[in-house]
């Protein structure tokens, strides 16, 4: 890998920090990204400036200036030019600008549709430094819409044994009213142990119909090899899993399950009950967990009857993960990672407030999810493909199918 060296003028930066902190950070970002461009150029040419090597694929031909709008101001990048070989290509603009462009386009669209506020206009001016015409907005929207659509509809090759699903809500303007839209997301781990955002879509609400539609859309794109799905206890999700993936075990998110139980207990018992439930989840075997559950019921049945009934009724579904090897349980016993993703989406959309339409919502949130998926690809994987293939040779898959059958029978009763 090429060495990245960033040269900064200390006196200049200190002077800027003293007088204009925003300009100082813009300068730091500009110098850093220009250094990255030089490294990319050297890597593509397979030679440093003035270096002669047999592997060299072309020559440098100066630079061209390109402006880049960021949250901390406008900066100018010096993009290298190549000759006698492949043109210079950089990932800087693609990776840095996608979600930023989506945010700008969404706010500009609000202005075009006449639903802007003074605050939105001020934020646009801060981010863009200029206004956008309707035609410019239209072209930018088309480009982003194509990228989001391609990502949402891409074929799902390979197996995805572990999946989590959840929905969060965003406000959208429709026919003069502000309504809440359910934004559904599927987040999975593939057979190589890497996490991936499989799909997302917008619905008017969470129901059996909409959750069935969402899971069917994933299946139609090729989703297969699913062994377990983690989620909260929404009836629509349970119904969709039983119908669309009837041989897939449902793991009730233990974090949500704990909250459902504790919320039904008197406040003075909540801390102790939470601690004992955590001990139950951490048991090494399902038999140990059942004994711990029985002890909790004995301790609290007279003082927190509703909480104990919730525990007793939901215990088996919350412990499906116990058939997995211990090293996998912590990863798939909750849907906390998709909850964290939802919080990030909320943070990124906060500046918008109310989206002007569904397309605007899909454009911004879809662009952010593409960006997040690219980050997931390079993260450390949870397990290797070899480990997963060894797991398939054990009795774990059969046990998960048995759990799925029992869950369907309980729902039908």
| C-alpha distances out from residue 35 to 11, 28, 42, 80, Å | 19, 11, 11, 11
Q: Say yes or no: 84 and 101 in one domain.
A: no
Q: Compute φ and ψ for 148, nearest 5 degrees.
A: -65, -40
Work out how many domains the chain is built from and give that number: 3
What's the confidence (pLDDT) of residue 117?
A: 41
Query: Going edge to edge, which strands form the sheet with 249-252?
Result: 195-203, 177-189, 162-174, 228-231, 249-252
What are the φ/ψ torsions at residue 65 (nearest 5 degrees)? -85, 140
Does residue 14 belong to any structural domain of this protein? yes
**38 lies in the same domain as 70:** yes
- Same domain for 211 and 285: yes
Which domain-ending residue is among 89, 112, 131?
89
Do 68 and 141 share a domain, yes or no?
Answer: no
* Domain identity same for 16 and 104: no
**Tokens 């960021």 belong to residue:** 70
In the chain (413 residues long), the average pLDDT of successive 10-residue segments reads 53 57 70 82 83 82 80 78 80 60 56 43 49 54 82 94 96 90 96 95 96 98 97 96 96 97 95 96 95 95 94 96 94 93 87 83 89 86 94 96 94 80
CA angle, corner 117, sides to 116 and 123, nearest 5? Answer: 95
pLDDT single digits (tens) 335-355: 999 999 999 898 878 767 888
Name the phi and psi angles at 54, rounded to 5.
-70, -25
Q: Give the phi and the psi of residue 64 in degrees, each rounded to 5.
A: -125, 145
The length of the chain in residues reads: 413
Q: What is the pLDDT of residues 254-306, one digit of tens each?
A: 999 999 999 999 999 999 999 999 999 999 999 999 999 999 999 999 999 99
The residue among 44, 60, 89 that closes a domain is 89
Question: What pLDDT is recorded for position 6?
Answer: 54
Containing domain of residue 56, as a range? 10-89
Q: For residue 61, report the phi and psi dihedrals to the nearest 5 degrees.
A: -140, 45
pLDDT at residue 92 in the model: 64
pLDDT for position 116: 41
Q: Are 207 and 116 members of one domain?
A: no
- 108-122 confidence digits (pLDDT tens): 555 444 444 444 445
The alpha carbons of the chain give a radius of gyration, in whole angstroms, of: 26
The answer as to whether 3 is a domain residue is no
Flag whether 67 is in a domain.
yes
Report pLDDT for 356. Answer: 85
CA torsion sign for 282, 284, 286, 292 is: negative
């Amino acid at each position: 890998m090429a060495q990245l060296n960033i040269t900064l003028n200390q006196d200049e930066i200190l002077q800027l920090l003293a007088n204009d902190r925003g300009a100082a950070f813009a300068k730091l970002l500009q110098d850093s990204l220009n250094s990255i461009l030089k490294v990319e150029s050297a890597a593509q040419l397979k030679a440093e400036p003035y270096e002669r090597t047999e592997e060299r694929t072309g020559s440098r031909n100066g630079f061209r200036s390109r402006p880049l709008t960021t949250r901390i101001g406008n900066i100018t990048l010096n993009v290298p030019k190549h000759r006698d070989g492949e043109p210079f290509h950089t990932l800087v603009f693609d990776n840095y600008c996608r979600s930023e462009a989506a945010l700008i386009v969404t706010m500009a669209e609000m202005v075009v549709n006449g639903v802007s506020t003074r605050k939105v206009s001020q934020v646009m001016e801060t981010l863009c430094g200029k206004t956008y015409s309707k035609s410019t907005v239209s072209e930018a929207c088309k480009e982003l819409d194509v990228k989001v659509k391609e990502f949402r509809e891409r074929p799902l090759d390979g197996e995805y044994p572990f999946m989590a699903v959840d929905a969060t809500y965003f406000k959208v303007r429709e026919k003069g009213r502000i309504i809440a839209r359910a934004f559904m997301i599927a987040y999975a781990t593939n057979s190589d142990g890497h996490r991936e955002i499989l799909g997302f879509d917008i619905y008017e609400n969470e129901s059996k119909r909409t959750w069935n539609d969402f899971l069917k859309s994933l299946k139609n794109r090729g989703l297969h090899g699913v062994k377990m799905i983690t989620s909260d206890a929404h009836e629509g999700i349970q119904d969709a899993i039983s119908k669309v993936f009837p041989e897939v075990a449902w793991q009730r998110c233990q974090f949500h399950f704990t909250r459902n139980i504790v919320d039904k207990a008197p406040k003075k018992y909540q801390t102790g009950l939470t601690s004992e439930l955590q001990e139950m989840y951490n048991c090494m075997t399902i038999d140990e967990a059942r004994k711990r559950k029985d002890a909790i019921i004995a301790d609290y049945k007279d003082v927190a009857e509703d909480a104990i009934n919730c525990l007793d009724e939901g215990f088996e579904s919350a412990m499906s993960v116990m058939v997995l090897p211990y090293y996998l349980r912590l990863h798939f016993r909750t849907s906390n990672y998709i909850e964290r993703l939802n919080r990030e989406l909320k943070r990124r959309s906060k500046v918008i407030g109310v989206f002007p339409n569904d397309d605007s919502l899909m454009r911004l949130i879809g662009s952010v999810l593409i960006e997040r998926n690219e980050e997931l690809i390079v993260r450390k994987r949870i397990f290797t493909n070899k480990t997963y293939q060894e797991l398939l040779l054990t009795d774990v898959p059969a046990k998960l199918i048995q759990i799925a059958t029992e869950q369907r029978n309980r729902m039908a009763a």
